[in-house]
Each structure stands twice: as structure tokens, then as C-alpha cells.
Chains A and B, each alone.
Chain A
Amino acid sequence: MTSLLLEWLVKIAVVFAVLITSVAYLSYMERRVAGWIQIRVGPNRVGPFGLLQPLADGLKFIFKEDIIPIKANKLLYLAAPAAAIVPALMTFIVIPYGSEIVLFGKQIALHVTRINVGLLYLLGLASLSVYGIVLAGWSSNNKYSLMGGLRASAQMISYELSLGMAIIGVLVLSGSLDLVNIAQSQSGYWFGFLPRWNIFLQPVGFIIFYIAALAETNRVPFDLPEAEAELVAGYFTEYSSMKFAMFFMSEYLNLITSCSLAVTLYFGGWNGPGVNSHPWLSLVYFLVKVFLLIFLFMWIRFTLPRFRYDQLMWLGWKFLLPLAIVNVVVTSTVLLLAS
């Protein structure tokens, strides 16, 4: 029992440290990718290739003045950044980031925990993450913040539906809500060469999932809640210092979790050639896949312009949701006829 507890604590600490570091370096990567796509330089002065830039940014965040507006609702104003970052940190624990490895003579499964409703747990926490944004917008007592908060909540409710519907296709195929099982069910090959990934069976589902995930993480072209041209900075207009950084971090954490979930559901999770003989490779495969999807997120961000608000709602309710429902019906019908 104590060894199990110790294993949990170590895993949680490692995942936490890796996540926080990745968040810092994603901000660096985002700016370098932006510079590369838009033919400019990006941060390259602090340390070799600007690699120490996140560290400098972090120090700057800590030393900035922490401002609380006089007319703000103080309690909720202070609680909102925490409400944003806590669910973002909690979601990753059910994601399997590798198969089983042997470390110090002990069999260790590379996921923090597995619960038989892991996917629902993840969706539930994702749906709670909207409160941080809504509370920040409301408690700041600023009309730009309020508009940003309203837009965020409307957008997240609308796209959560499509997200959930898109996932049902994968659930029907794998017959489990446990992400570890879903990842394992995608091992092996079709016809000897094509990996058994759900993306080949659920291409439409993946596209819906990816678009909805873009909207859920408030990224361009769905960054209406913080559209700087019309709303200053949206829901975190009034925030400064580490409180602002916490919103920033929760956004990147959600980005990592969405991409990890996409990899687990559609791209075979940690599966890849040679995983059975060298379990360490599974971790590498997982990280590479997640990295590529995150890069795609950034690519989209610096290529596409922002949607107009009514276009956003139209896309969510009148296109993605019906398409997702059709996807569920077609998948289940085909599966029923095939079995």
C-alpha cells in the first residue's frame, strides 16, 4: 500500500513538473513558430537560441505589480485564476503516456491512474474549466472582461456538445471509457502495414474533435473571448503579474491535454513499431505525436484569421453538431451490420 502511494506521488510530481516546464517552453515554441511562419526572428537573445526566454518571462511575471481593481469583486477576482488552472492540471492524470516499463526492478505503468470512466472524468473537468474564465470576466467589473467571459461561456457550451458527440464514435469502436484500454485497443496493424489507429476509421470524428478542441482551448481562429482588436484582452484584461500568468498557463495546459487526448483517441496513443520489445519507445512515440499535433495548433493560429461571432455559432450548432450526430449514427450502423 505504501509503495503504491509512493508510486502515485512520484508520478504526480514528475507529471506536474514536466507539464509546467512544457507550458513554459510552449510559450517559447509558439513565438519561434510564429516568427518562422511570418518570416521574422522571434526570441533569440536570452541564452542559446533564446532558450532561457521562458525563465526570464517567469521572473518578470513574478516581479510585476499585482493589481486588484477597486470596484472588482475581490473574492471571486482572486479565486478565478485558481479556478482556471486547477482543472487544467487535474485532467492529465488519466492520460496514458506510455506502456509499462521496468524501473528499479519494478513494473511501472506509464499513466498516473486509470479509472473506468476516465474519459468522462476528463470531459467533466474540461467542462468545469469554463468557470475560471466566466468568474474572471464577471468579477473584474469591466465591460471588456464581461464580454470576453460571456463569449467564452457561450463558445465552450456550444463546442462541448460537438466534442462529446465526436468522441462517441471512438467509444463505440473500442467499447471502453478507460483511456488505457482505448490506447491498447489500437495496437497492431491492418493488412500488415497500416497501424490500427482510430483516425483511419473515424476521420470525420477526428476533424470534428480537433476543431472543437481548438474552440475549447480558445485558440485562433476561435479566440473570440480574448479578441484583442475589440476586447482589449477579453476576460483577463484587468489581471496582471502571476494571476495573468495562471490564465496563460491554464490555456497551454488545456492545449497539451487536448492534443494528448487526440493522440490517445485517434492516433494510437503510445503505440508504434518496436514498442513491445523496447517499452521506453512508447513514451517517445507519445511525445512526438503530441508535439506534432501542438505544432498543427500553432500552424493554424498563425495562418488563419479570427471568425466573426455569428460565424462561430453557426459553425458549432449548424455544421459540427449535425455532422457529429451523423458520424455517430453511421459508425454504430456500420458496426452493427459488420458484427
Chain B
Amino acid sequence: MERVLFIIFAAAAVGSALNLIAQRNPMYSALSLIGTLASLSALYVTLHAQFVAAMQIIVYAGAIMVLFVFVIMLLNLQEDQPRIEKQQWLRYLAVPFAAALMAEALYVFRNVKDIRLPAGSDSDRAVGATWSIGTSLFTDYLLPFEVTSVLILMAIVGAIVLARREDG
């Protein structure tokens, strides 16, 4: 049973990935990518990682790919620049806020070992369940987890800075 499902979804994932690069129309490519992501999510379910599977759908298929499709649709349209109100004083607040966040993060990193967590049942402790993922992300792997999120934040800010360079 599991093997049959694996073959079906693995074939679907590879097939739609090939279709993604074969298509000329960007909309078809985006839809194929959604097909790949959905098949991967199904593969996660066969590995009993339901949480990862649901996150795959919510984050990639439901949020990021919607943005991709959105951009593809907008490519045919004329640009309509929204006026962004500049708030100069915000940049002076940035330093103390960042310092406070850093202090908070350091405090948590130092104290994370002493935190007592509510005990999970055996089914919670299974690899791939919500409880076990949450627990390991916020205790054993706290530093990599936080560093990754900071990295993503830096990438977002960097992308905006690069895209708006002409403003000086």
C-alpha cells in the first residue's frame, strides 16, 4: 500500500517538476510547481510527518505560490506605483528595538535548558508530530532556528533595498 502510494506521488512530483521546466507559459510552470509541492506533501504523509505535510501546503502552495501567480498575472498589467509614506523617525527607533530583541534572544538562549515542558504522550513524541517538532525546534535547535529566521528577514529587507535603490 505504502509503496504504491510512494510510486504514484513520486512519479507525480517528478512529472510536474519536468513539466515546470518544459512549459513556455509561466502560468503553467507555476501550476506545475504547485503540483510538485502537493505531491511532496503527500509523500510526507506516507512518512507519518503530518505536520510537515500540512506546513508544506500552507506555506508553499498556499502562500508563496499564490504570490508567484499574483506576480505572473501582474506582468501583463501596467505598473501602478502606490505612494508610500516615509516615516523618518522609525530608523532611530530601530536601534533600541533591535538591541532589546537581541538581549531577549540571548536571555532565552542562556535559559532554554532550564525550562520544564509539559510532558507529551507517546504519540506526541513520534518524529514528525507537532509536539516533537515544536519541542525540538525551541529547545535543542533553538539557535539554528532563530538564526535561520533572522537570515530570511535579512533576505527580505535586502530584496526591498535592492528593488528600491533608485530612491537613494
Contacts and interface: CB of A to CB of B under 8 A. Distances in A.
Contact of B58 (A124, A150, A175): A124
Interface string B61-73: 1110011011001
A126 B58 CA distance: 9
Given A123-B58, A124-B54, A146-B73, A157 B67 contact: yes
Interface of B: 27, 31, 34, 50-51, 53-55, 57-58, 61-63, 66-67, 69-70, 73-74, 76-77, 118, 123, 129-130
Interface string A11-32: 0000000000000000000000
Interface of A: 73, 76, 115-117, 120-121, 123-128, 130-131, 134, 137-138, 146, 149-150, 153-154, 156-157, 160, 175, 177
A125 B62 CA distance: 8
Contacts of B73: 134, 137-138, 146, 149-150, 153
28 contacts: A76-B31, A117-B130, A120-B58, A121-B54, A123-B54, A123-B62, A124-B58, A125-B57, A127-B57, A127-B58, A127-B62, A128-B61, A130-B62, A131-B34, A138-B27, A138-B69, A146-B76, A146-B77, A149-B73, A150-B70, A150-B73, A150-B77, A153-B70, A153-B73, A154-B70, A160-B62, A160-B63, A175-B118
A196 B112 CA distance: 33
Given A127-B58, A146-B76, A177-B130, 14 more contacts: A76-B27, A76-B31, A117-B50, A123-B54, A127-B57, A127-B62, A128-B57, A131-B66, A138-B27, A138-B69, A138-B73, A150-B73, A154-B70, A157-B70
Nearest to A154: B70
10 interchain residue pairs of minimum CB distance:
A127-B62, A120-B54, A124-B57, A117-B50, A124-B58, A117-B54, A153-B70, A124-B54, A138-B73, A117-B51
Contacts of B62: 123-124, 126-128, 130, 160
